[in-house]
Chains A and B, each alone.
Chain A
Amino acid sequence: MWLINSSIGRKLIMSISGAALVLFLLFHATMNLVAIISEDGYNMICEFLGANWYALVATVGLAALVVVHILYAFFITWQNYRARGNKRYAVSTRQEDVEWSSKNMLALGVVIVLGMGLHLFNFWYKMQFTEIMHAAGAHINDIELATNGVHWIKETFACPVYVVLYLVWLGAIWFHLTHGVWSALHTLGLNNNTWMPRVKCISNIVSTLVVLMFAAVVIYYGLASLGCCGSSCCAA
């Protein structure tokens, strides 16, 4: 199977899974923005994407993409490490026109996965997961809160530590995407001399857009919490 056996095939899988995840992020970020515009609207979306079959199928697909992307990342990095041979360079310098992120995609990826764990615990565990458990017949107390996304957003970002953690996480995502988006297109062969600067520009725009949309919600609710409830919620 050339997708596994050949280097370009492996990269193709990284590229396609990565591109799909970027699309998911765009989708996710757009919905998050609704939380700023209308709290009810946002909760409606949360309800819509609860434990419904289509949402579940999408979630499983998404999880599969994430797993494939991560496993391949480790596999490829391990292979690349071996390809460098037994000896390392004593001196190595970064070339001026090489992006820092491109050489640290795995490290950025690890940060992103850690952030994702936190995020899943903060939101997914309390929302979709709770709904699934409820549907499966488990006894759940606050089942109505499971579709109240705004409640969880407010609760999480009332804590400045979470605001900072989420912003750091988003920073890592930004670095990861600035290289990832154009690299995915490059791997798909959608690039040439003329388009190289354009593709890189598109890549920067997309990653900045995604991260700004997410960050807007974090900062908005972070600031909002300072106005209303002080710092009392950090105990949670």
Chain B
Amino acid sequence: MEKTINITLKVWRQAGPKAKGAFETYKLENISTDSSFLEMLDVLNEQLIRERKEPVAFDHDCREGICGMCSLYINGHPHGPDSAVTTCQLHMRKFKDGDTITVEPWRSAAFPVIKDLMVNRNAFDQIIQAGGYVSVNTGGVPDANAIPIPKPIADEAMDAASCIGCGACVAACKNGSAMLFVSAKVSQLALLPQGKIEAARRAKAMVAKMDELGFGNCTNTGACAAECPKSVSLSNIARLNREFICAKLKD
């Protein structure tokens, strides 16, 4: 029936943004293999509270893989060793009895640590604010069926739009580059006729903001797409390059 395992956790603890952090080691016993990784952390926190210690702070919310809030770097992989899932969908059956699991926060200059495993991903919001939208006001828009869009285009836009903004791409990238995130949004809107109108302006503005915020230069390693929990494709980056270079050449 229910299987349980004993594990050792090495968790990054850091009291605040400026504090010096360090790994703490915790032993956990009888963890159900049916529980999710975050439920395992809940058990750890419950244990810490019983010992009257401060629980580990980590970001999480929907726990069904869509909000993009959870963000742990587990055993060298953002969102852990399973493929195409977020940390909240990772289950303990992926680990063996006696395993040591190292849990770290996202490491990137643009994502400073707030506390323990929590990081500040406000930079992503700022990039979207720089131009990740179609400039239409509420009301006064044409009928939804006024512009037909070929199904393959709509589907490709949807695939790009499925990005959840978790930051795993940046966390996985040895260059700390946000190109996959930016290219997903630029692609979604550049593919659709609604967004094409200001595609050039958008690409320039978003890339400029991305660079300003201290993200690295993309070197096409593909680690981002390999770790993306939503399998956002690397070819979006080619599209962003194309959009950006063409936009600049037109200036």
Contacts and interface: CB of A to CB of B under 8 A. Distances in A.
Contacts of B73: 89
B77 interface: yes
A139 interface: no
23 contacts: A7-B177, A7-B218, A11-B241, A83-B108, A84-B108, A85-B111, A86-B109, A89-B73, A89-B76, A89-B104, A90-B10, A92-B76, A95-B222, A95-B226, A98-B222, A102-B221, A179-B220, A186-B237, A186-B238, A190-B238, A192-B235, A193-B156, A193-B233
Contacts of A96: 226
A79 B245 contact: no
A191 B233 CA distance: 12
Contacts of A183: 219-220
A187 B102 CA distance: 35
Given A6-B211, A85-B107, A98 B221 contact: yes
Contacts of B248: 2, 6, 9
The 3 closest A-B pairs by CB, nearest first: A189-B242, A83-B216, A83-B176
A189 B222 contact: no
A91 B234 contact: no
Contacts of B109: 82-86
Interface of A: 2, 5-12, 76, 79-80, 82-93, 95-99, 102-103, 105, 179, 182-183, 186-193, 195-196
Nearest to A11: B217
A10 B217 contact: yes
Which of B10, B102, B109, B239 is the most central at the interface, judged by chain A CB atoms within 10 Å of its CB?
B109
A86 B73 CA distance: 16
B110 interface: yes
Contacts of B76: 89, 91-93
B40 interface: no
Nearest to B111: A85
Interface of B: 10, 21, 23, 73, 75-77, 102, 104, 107-112, 156, 172, 174-177, 179, 207-208, 210-211, 214-223, 226-227, 233-235, 237-246, 248
A79 B216 contact: yes
A73 B234 CA distance: 22
A89 B107 contact: yes
Which of A90, A93, A182, A192 is the most central at the interface, judged by chain B CB atoms within 10 Å of its CB?
A90
B241 A102 contact: no
Given A85-B109, A85-B111, 12 more contacts: A8-B207, A80-B216, A83-B216, A84-B107, A84-B176, A84-B216, A85-B112, A89-B107, A93-B77, A95-B227, A98-B222, A186-B234
Contact of A91 (B104, B172, B219, B240): B104
Contact of B177 (A80, A89, A189): A80
Nearest to B226: A95
B176 A88 contact: no
Contacts of B237: 186
B15 to A, nearest CB: 15
A98 B10 CA distance: 26
A98 B226 contact: yes
B229 to A, nearest CB: 13
B215 to A, nearest CB: 6
A9 B218 CA distance: 11
Contacts of B108: 83-85
A190 B217 CA distance: 18
Contacts of A90: 10, 23, 102, 104
B23 to A, nearest CB: 7
Nearest to A5: B211
A196 B239 CA distance: 12
A80 to B, nearest CB: 4
B76 to A, nearest CB: 4
B21 to A, nearest CB: 8
B78 to A, nearest CB: 10
Nearest to B251: A2
Given A7-B177, A12-B245, A84-B176, A186 B233 contact: no
B238 A76 contact: no
Nearest to B171: A89
A93 B239 CA distance: 28
Contacts of A196: 234-235
